[in-house]
Each structure stands twice: as structure tokens, then as C-alpha cells.
Amino acid sequence: MNILTVENITKAIGVRKLFDNASFFLQEGEKAGIIGINGTGKSTLLKIIAGLEEPDEGKIIVANHCMISYLPQTPDFGAQETVIEAVLRGARTETNADYIEADAKAMLTRLGVTDFAQPCGQLSGGQKKRLALVSVLLSPAEILILDEPTNHLDSEMSAWLEETLKKRKGAVIMVTHDRYFLDSVTNRIIEIDKGNIYSYEANYAGYLELKMQREEMAESSEKKRQNILRNELKWVQRGAQARSTKQKARLERFEELKNQDAPQHDGRVEMASAVTRLGRTTVEINGVSKRYGERTLFKDFTYLFGKNDRLGIVGPNGSGKSTLIKLITGEVEPDSGSVELGITVKVGCFSQEINESEMKPTQRVIDYIRDVAEFVDTPDGKISAAKMLERFLFAGEDQYGLLGKLSGGERRRLYLCKILMGAPNVLILDEPTNDLDIATLQILEDYLDSFQGIVIVVSHDRYFLDRTVQRIFELGREETPIQYEGNYTDYANKRPDSQTDMVPSVKKSEPVEAKKWNEGRKKKLKFTYAEQKEYETIEEDIAKLETKIEQLEADTLKYAHDFVKLNEITKEKEKAESLLEEKMDRWMYLEDLAARIEKGETVDA
């Protein structure tokens, strides 16, 4: 049964109309995700459903006795209120208070908050968000409304929340940009597009397919309309005498077709920036150690960045990820060791928090970008700050609006524009998926594919890491960051707690006599028969795969408008690239083994 109906709502902010006679419904137990580009009104829609704002027209119908609990994007608590007081007050604990308090403490501990008596005024924004999340989850509500619930959660916390929401019997409606999270939790996607609301009974992967079908149908209808218009126009131009009823009806039909609106599409961010040439010396981390009080974040860490490194940094909250970034940018000094930047290195850092003194509420959007440069060189030539803003969906009057009027997502998009205007060759992205909409993230991912320089990503977004990085450093497990080759999925499969064969095995103690007999027995290292055959043919296999991928890349251009064929080619290309990566890893192992054999190394018998 329907427990929530949004009926013909219209909402405008100033001259900008967010929703225009839009409707959708939510059924009992459904898990819905709201998506759309920043500034389209996702958070406003949540507030309207929660009863915190009123639509200009239309109404919200909630089933009788249906309770709603709302998680805002930026929660606020009394400065002197303790952690546990704040959580229990929001959870409406009229009954079973002791039971709920125990649950609250368990959830808070799971989310990294352990001092239950700490005043809320001493908490960071991320900690407050986690408090509010626990409070909402404990609430006996039939509908949970969650605005960016995964922000400020590390990967393990996000996985816990994912399972918690999947098991919850009540309905959930949320805004999140975490695509793996959306795909796993939701069974309905609600898209805000040009003032309209489209509802898809599917998870995120299903939504992508259904949206493509909707857009193809709209384009097909528009082509038919244009064909009819051309024929009607020829008839009109022949000098039709609008005397008969039939002729008048045909002219009216022409006018009606002519005045119909063509399908509209959301603006797409266009990312392009100049890149400063990167010299031989890039970024060198030499034996760096850092501790705060009794806690060591990392010790004796050394790493030399390659010119096109794609590096991801992961670990639980408080493990030192942002501190490592600040060491690279020079904001923090190491306790020992050094960080050296080459003379050609130009760092652009997209920070997790935007400095309020840098983004003043009374400053105009265009002036904020002009503070970096009036013009910038891009692969498309020299473009102005105003043109760059248009590429980031700030056009016309929007460029002369005040920063204080922008939504959180719009501010992050503008901040990213400013970073790229600086033409960096070392791009650091600290939690880039917080507040950036999915469409912008997709463009950013494509941009990073061709970025000529080093990319360092700190993120808990599994999808973004899978898409953008080729090496992972994990902080927090040991004193020295642990290096893993591959993207996030590769790292997750190789972690000691996720794959048993990666855990060092404990050997059973041998009898003393056997131990003595085995001591000193060695044999020469050599290939097995299968390894020898593989070593002889693997380079040829790699060459064939590289040729195949090149051909498939050419085919993607050839069949760009045949979506069925393009989908088949894309899947085949992904499979070939995955196989090539496996072959390359295997080739490196065999090459190393061959070198050790040539040196005459021995192993225990």
C-alpha cells in the first residue's frame, strides 16, 4: 500500500523553479534513492516530505499514524548536551529507555564514537552526523528520510549501514551519491530532472537501463515530430488557403506541433584544464613518521610517486589519511623524515572541508574564480573564467549570484572548478564524493582517465576508487601504510580479514628429530613444467590482448549510436582489460622468478 504520496507539487526559489507539478509515491517497505544534479532540489524535496518546508502548490499525503524520522545534511545539537542525551532525545525514547540506550551505545561504538558523556559542542561535523544517524535509526518510524547518510562514514561503517537499512522493515527515502550503496539498498530510484520527477521501480543499475530507454523513446518521438513538422511546413509554404474546416484543422495541428517542447536534458559538467608539465622529480616521501600524543599514525613511510600514478588512500576515520595529505601539501610537518616536491610540481588539493574564509558568502561566483585567473589554457584553447564557469553549469545570472546562496553541492562543484583553473599536475582529492552529484562524479572520473599527472584520492566511496585508482595504501592496520596493487575491489579481496590465503599461516611445530633432519637441506629454485610453458607464451598472450583492446576501443566509436552493440563491446572490453591486468601481474611474477633462478637461488627442501 502507498504510505506516502507527493501530489502535483511546485516549488520555486526566487526565479528558479525546482519542481513543476511533480508527483510520485512510496509504498510500504520500499527503499528509494533520490538522484539529480546539484541544485535541482533533492534536499528541498526531503524537507518538504519531512514537513519542514511547504510546497508552493500541491500536497504531501502521509498514511494515517505513519511516523517520519529525518536525518538532515548538517545536524545541530546543543553545545552542552552530551552525546548519549542528544541521541536518546532524537530517538523518542518514551518506552524501553534502558534497552534503547544499550542499542544506542552499541551503534555509536560501531561508528567510532565511544565517549558518551562528551559535550556535543566538542564534536566535529562528521561526528555530529553520526550521532544524528544513530538517533534516526533508533526511532520507531515507518519512514526514514536520510540526507547524505554515508558522508563521514568509512568503508566499514558504510557497509554496516548498508546491511542495517536492507534488514529494516520500514520504508526509506534518501539522497546519496554512493552508487554501490544505492545499488545494494534501493529498489526504487526517484530522479529529479528539469523540474520533473521520474520514478523507476529498480535499483541503481536498473535505473540506468530504464533511463536510457526513456531517453531513447523521447528522442524517437522528437524525430517523428520533426519529420511531421517538415511535411506540414512544405504544405503551408505551398500557400494553403485556410478556408475549409479540414485545412483549418491542419494549420492548427501544425501550430500545436511547432509549439511543443523538445526533450530537455540536464546540463553536463565539462571538465578541461591546462596541466603544468611535470619534470623528472615528482613527489618523494622519505622515511616519514607522524604521531599525535601517544598515537602513531604512520612510521618510516617511504614512497616515490610515478608521473602518472593513480593512488588511493583508505583506512578508518582517524587513521591519518588527511594528515598524510597535509604532509604532502606542506600544511603539516613530519616528526621525522621529509617530503620533497620537484620544482615543476603544482599541487591542486580538493579538500574535504572548504575554508569559509576562502569562500566568503558575500563574494560573487565569477569573482571567486577570477581570483585564480581571468583566462586558462585548456586542450580546447584559451578560455575565460566565465566560459569555464559555464562548463561547470554556472551560466548567465548564476555567475553573478552570491556564494552564500549556493547549495552544498553547488559550492563543491564551484570549488572543484577553482582547483582545475589552477592547472595542477598533482591532483589531490580528499573525499571528493561528499556533496558532488552522481553526474558530476561520472564526468570527473572520465576527466581523470586522461589527466596528465599524479592523482591521489582519499575516499570511502568504493565505486569511485574502483573507477579511478590503480594502487591502494591502507592506513591504520600497521604503523607503516600497507601497499596493495589494483583498485578497491582488488584491495578488499586481498586484505587479510577478507581472504584467508592472505593470512600468514601458523606452522605446526615439527618433532625435534624431523626439525634437525630438515635443517640445512636446500634445493635449487626452478620453474615447474607449467610455469615454464606459461613463461614462454605469456608475452605473446599480452600482445594479443592489447591488440584486441585497441580494436574494441575503435569499435566503441564505430557503434556509438547502437546502444545494444555498444553494450556488448563495452562488456567484452572490460573482460579483456581484466584479463590483461591478470596476465601483467602473472608476467611480473614469472619475470621475478626467472631472475631468481638465474642467480641460482635455493629454497628449503
Q: Give per-residue pLDDT as tens, 333-362.
A: 999 999 999 988 999 999 877 776 678 888
Provide the mean pLDDT of the chain. Answer: 82
Residue 187 has pLDDT above 90, yes or no: yes
Average pLDDT over residues 293-301: 89
Does the predicted TM-score (pTM) go above 0.85? Answer: no
Pairing of strands 143-147, 16-27: unpaired
CB–CB of 439/411 below 8 Å?
no
Residue 263 has pLDDT above 80, yes or no: no
**Which long-range CB contacts under 8 A does 46-49 form with residues at least 24 apart?**
46/70, 46/145, 46/147, 46/173, 46/175, 48/6, 48/9, 48/11, 49/4, 49/6, 49/145, 49/173
- Return the sign of the alpha-carbon dihedral for residues 458, 461, 467, 471: positive
Residue 515 has pLDDT above 50, yes or no: no
CB–CB of 441/181 below 8 Å?
no
Residue 435's region, left for phi above 0, alpha for psi from -120 to 50, else beta, is left
CB–CB of 249/596 below 8 Å?
no
Band of pLDDT at residue 237, cut at 50, 70 and 90: low
Instruction: Report pLDDT for 526.
Output: 80
Residue 460 has pLDDT above 80, yes or no: yes
Instruction: Report pLDDT for 506.
Output: 32
Find, among 417, 409, 369, the residue nearest to 392 by Cα. Answer: 417
Q: Which of 5-19, 208-222, 234-248 has the lowest mean pLDDT?
A: 234-248
Find, among 507, 126, 463, 136, the residue nearest to 321 by Cα. Answer: 126
Q: Which of 8-12, 42-46, 436-440 has the lowest mean pLDDT?
A: 436-440
Residue 44 has pLDDT above 60, yes or no: yes
Q: Give per-residue pLDDT as tens, 370-414.
A: 888 788 776 667 778 888 888 787 888 888 888 888 877 788 888
Instruction: Report pLDDT for 181.
Output: 93
Q: Which of 147-156, 159-168, 519-528 has the lowest mean pLDDT?
A: 519-528
Instruction: Report pLDDT for 53.
Output: 93
Residue 290 has pLDDT above 80, yes or no: yes
Task: Identify which has the larger pLDDT, 535 or 109.
Answer: 109
Residue 269 has pLDDT above 80, yes or no: no
Q: Give per-residue pLDDT as tens, 102-141.
A: 889 999 999 989 899 999 999 888 889 999 999 999 988 9
Residue 327 has pLDDT above 90, yes or no: yes
Q: Give per-residue pLDDT as tens, 553-595.
A: 888 777 777 777 877 888 888 888 888 888 887 887 887 788 7
Residue 179 corresponds to which amino acid? R
Instruction: Report pLDDT for 588.
Output: 78
What is the DSSP track for 35-97?
E--TTSSHHHHHHHHHTSS--SEEEEEE-TT--EEEE-SS----TT-BHHHHHHHHTT-SS-H
Tell me the chain's radius of gyration from C-alpha atoms: 29
Determine which helix (DSSP H) or strand (DSSP E) holds 414, and give its type and residue range: helix 408-421
CA pair distance 176, 71, nearest whole angstrom: 12
Average pLDDT over residues 31-56: 92
Instruction: Report pLDDT for 334.
Output: 93
What is the DSSP track for 312-368?
EEE-STTSSHHHHHHHHHTSS--SEEEEEE-TT--EEEE-SS--TTTS-TTSBHHHH
Instruction: Report pLDDT for 456.
Output: 96
CA pair distance 444, 269, nearest whole angstrom: 9
Residue 154 has pLDDT above 90, yes or no: no
CA pair distance 105, 571, nearest whole angstrom: 45
Among 209-213, 408-412, 423-427, 447-451, the range with the most confident prediction by mean pLDDT is 423-427
Among 199-213, 539-553, 563-577, the range with the most confident prediction by mean pLDDT is 199-213
Among 123-132, 161-170, 540-549, 570-579, the range with the most confident prediction by mean pLDDT is 161-170
CB–CB of 91/138 below 8 Å?
yes
Instruction: Report pLDDT for 46.
Output: 95
Q: Which of 50-59, 443-452, 506-515 has the lowest mean pLDDT?
A: 506-515
Average pLDDT over residues 424-431: 92
